[in-house]
Chain A
Amino acid sequence: MSQPETRIGRRFQALREEGRSGLVTFLTAGDPDPDTALEIFKGLPAAGADLIEVGVPFSDPMADGPAIQASSLRALKAGMTLSKTLDAVRAFREEDDDTPIIFMGYYNPFYIYGVDKFLEDAKGAGVDGFIVVDLPPEEEGEFCLPTTAAGMNFIYLTAPTTTDERLPRVLQNASGFVYFVSITGITGTRSANTDAVAGHVARIRNVTDLPVAVGFGIKTPEQVAEIAGIADAAVVGSALVNIIAENLDANDKPAAGTADKVLSLVSELAKGVRSAGT
């Protein structure tokens, strides 16, 4: 099928030309409050994030570990909504028209917003793609196909449990990149063995020419460098979210300099993708 042309494809093309892998950051929109979150969001490209995943807060994040669950609840408590998340993207796009933005979340908030209206608003705001955890290819008619028709990418998750037999079905309507979930588990918990990940990445590359990003359990610049040696991008989420959690007072108000601390870890992680064996 035809691949919608977005900032995601252009960014991976640029990375290929640069001869390195990319860093994908994940933070939850509105965590710990909308202003701090926007400050971090706007600082991500300069700190070295190549692609940005924006976590859409949801009350019941089934595939996430304690760190991202807590970030989602903090954001909701601070009044974050899907509409305000789109506002944040609009604000970001006033300053940056190149860095790809991917919404990552669960289907219900998108569904309740109304799929057609949401896709129109997201496209208008400057969103490039979606990772929707609870939409496997079996439910592609719901959101994946309309997303692609609207000119954005639908990024599929593949897991160690995805068999060779199933993989082509999962990737049939994938675009943008493929997100390999490196462990059988939830976000921010254990880390995968690099050799095992390399095997799975090779399996995916046998089926598709799309770039492959690896996430779940990647926390340090060293781990980023290792993954950068075998995949097109490394995704870091919980480790960044944890910096926010560590800098909150008893009322979930961030200490001064919280945004800088998050961005400084992003800079460290960015060195990881630049140091990997090229």
Chain B
Amino acid sequence: MNKLNTYRAGVDDDGHFGIYGGRYVAETLMPLILAVDKAWNEAKDDDDFWAEFNHYMKHYVGRPSPLYLATRLTEHLGGAKIYFKRDELNHTGAHKINNTIGQILLARRMGKRRIIAETGAGQHGVAAATVCALFGLPCIVYMGETDVERQAPNVFRMKLLGAEVRPVTSGTGTLKDAMNEALRDWVSNVEDTFYIIGTAAGPHPYPSMVRDFQCIIGNEVRNQIQEAEGRLPDSLVACLGGGSNAIGLFHPFLDDEDVRIIGVEAAGHGVETGQHCASLTGGRPGVLHGNRTYLLQTEDGQILDGHSISAGLDYPGIGPEHSWLRDTGRAEYVSVTDEEALEAFQLCTRMEGIIPALEPSHALAHVAKIAPDLSNDHIMVMNMCGRGDKDIFTVARHLGVGVNEE
């Protein structure tokens, strides 16, 4: 492939990153998607929109989140200098709120009065319910029945925030079905509804819009690392489910050729077992949920369910821009198993006093693999995109420890 002048120009006007992305939706939705696109194009060129966004980022979310040198972990691993971007310190405990603030400001601009969202682990559902409470809008969250059971604390959190959680039993009752159900709701409530998609995927303009909101992560890192080290990092590491935290960290560095970029997918029980969520490692390009991207699927084009210990990574697809970055070779994508993530979870907790979510525990596991072989002046930034309080019951179960969930 010819070398590109920039990796940051995407998307094109029709919503493609190379062959990925696009707008594969039913005609009933198409006019709505075009309306979101138009509103977003106006908003993103409007300084007032960003001023409002930045206001909430600072005073409500608590940004900028710190860039923290993990000293003990660095010493323990004995190689690269490891920094955590502390997005787990955001209000609601993850990076998801960056996106929901952005999208609800757009929904308000468009005069929409009803919000719908899908959620897997419940982090995006909580972030959507939070901004709906903040602006006094009704919020309906679609969540797979299986996830409703295994993520009870987040379900209760959403309800406390005033959201209605609708368990999804269709299909296999997981995140992909929750997204199907949200699309069915949208098609049935076209007049007043705005769909806040939780990751950098879906029909154009969602992948690039969500990325632009999450880029606050990478933009802050650029400033913070300059301040701390006087130069850019040598490598970036982030976990991917749909890939919104990763693209938010990566995108501002795409044109800095010397920065190595690594995305970490969930290998579940191991990619070779078929029980995983590593779309880029173990999937192939296909079309689902409005975009072309790498998908876990059968030979007949039927979508498969993923498996991961982390409900937040449990999605059979991936944001289309990651598919493109993979094919162009600008970013590398690796995978980490449930077991490795659990080990990294415990390592970080004991070593740094930070309980990471199981999602960034995957990124951390990869950091632990490669950092020892890198030199002491190699600067590595890992996105600590969520905190692990929500995961303690899952971890306890896997460690064979009894914890009362009631």
Contact surface of A with B, Cβ cutoff 8 Å? 57-63, 65-66, 69, 73, 76, 81-83, 106-113, 133-136, 138-139, 156-163, 166, 170, 181, 184-186, 189
A82 touches B184 (CB 8 A): no
Q: Which residues of B contact A112 (CB under 8 A)?
A: 284, 286, 297, 299-301
B190 touches A184 (CB 8 A): yes
B302 nearest in chain A by CB position: A59
B27 touches A162 (CB 8 A): yes
Count A-B contacts at CB 8 Å. 117
B171 touches A82 (CB 8 A): no
A61 nearest in chain B by CB position: B180
Quick one: given A59-B303, A108-B297, A112-B297, are A157 and B27 in contact (CB under 8 Å)?
Answer: yes
Min CB distance B32 to A, Å, is 7
Please give 11 more A-B residue pairs, beta carbons under 8 A apart, in addition to A82-B300, A189-B188. Answer: A59-B303, A60-B180, A60-B288, A83-B300, A108-B287, A134-B290, A157-B28, A161-B31, A170-B27, A184-B188, A186-B187
B27 touches A156 (CB 8 A): yes
A185 touches B187 (CB 8 A): yes
- In the assembled complex, the Cα of A82 lies from the Cα of B184 at a distance in Å of 24
Whether B77 is near chain A, meaning CB under 8 Å from some CB there, is no
A158 nearest in chain B by CB position: B27
Contact surface of B with A, Cβ cutoff 8 Å? 14, 22-32, 170-171, 176-177, 180, 183-184, 187-190, 284, 286-290, 295, 297, 299-303
Quick one: given A134-B25, A138-B14, A159-B28, are A109 and B300 in contact (CB under 8 Å)?
Answer: yes
- In the assembled complex, the Cα of A139 lies from the Cα of B203 at a distance in Å of 12
Q: Which residues of A contact B302 (CB under 8 A)?
A: 57-59, 76, 109
- In the assembled complex, the Cα of A66 lies from the Cα of B188 at a distance in Å of 14
Min CB distance A87 to B, Å, is 13
B188 touches A159 (CB 8 A): no
Out of B184, B284, B295, which one reaches A186, CB within 8 Å?
B184
Q: Which residues of B contact A60 (CB under 8 A)?
A: 171, 176-177, 180, 288-289, 303
- In the assembled complex, the Cα of A161 lies from the Cα of B187 at a distance in Å of 10
B303 touches A108 (CB 8 A): yes
A57 nearest in chain B by CB position: B302
The prevalent SS among residues of A at the interface is loop
Quick one: given A107-B287, A108-B297, A134-B290, are A163 and B31 in contact (CB under 8 Å)?
Answer: yes
A139 touches B24 (CB 8 A): yes
Q: Which residues of B contact A59 (CB under 8 A)?
A: 171, 302-303
- In the assembled complex, the Cα of A163 lies from the Cα of B30 at a distance in Å of 11
B24 touches A81 (CB 8 A): no
B181 nearest in chain A by CB position: A62
Best-buried of A62, A83, A157 by chain B (most CB within 10 Å): A62
Q: Which residues of B contact A81 (CB under 8 A)?
A: 300
- In the assembled complex, the Cα of A139 lies from the Cα of B30 at a distance in Å of 11
Out of B24, B180, B184, B289, which one reaches A135, CB within 8 Å?
B24
Out of A106, A181, A185, A189, which one reaches B27, CB within 8 Å?
A181
Out of B28, B177, B183, B287, which one reaches A111, CB within 8 Å?
B287
Q: Which residues of A contact B29 (CB under 8 A)?
A: 161
Min CB distance B193 to A, Å, is 11
A163 nearest in chain B by CB position: B31
Q: Which residues of A contact B171 (CB under 8 A)?
A: 59-60, 69, 73
21 residue pairs bridging A and B, Cβ less than 8 Å apart: A60-B171, A60-B176, A60-B177, A60-B289, A61-B180, A62-B183, A69-B170, A81-B300, A82-B301, A110-B301, A111-B301, A112-B286, A112-B300, A112-B301, A134-B24, A135-B24, A136-B24, A157-B27, A159-B28, A166-B31, A181-B26
A134 touches B26 (CB 8 A): yes
Best-buried of A162, A170, A185 by chain B (most CB within 10 Å): A185
A184 touches B24 (CB 8 A): no
Min CB distance B195 to A, Å, is 12
- In the assembled complex, the Cα of A198 lies from the Cα of B30 at a distance in Å of 22
A66 nearest in chain B by CB position: B170
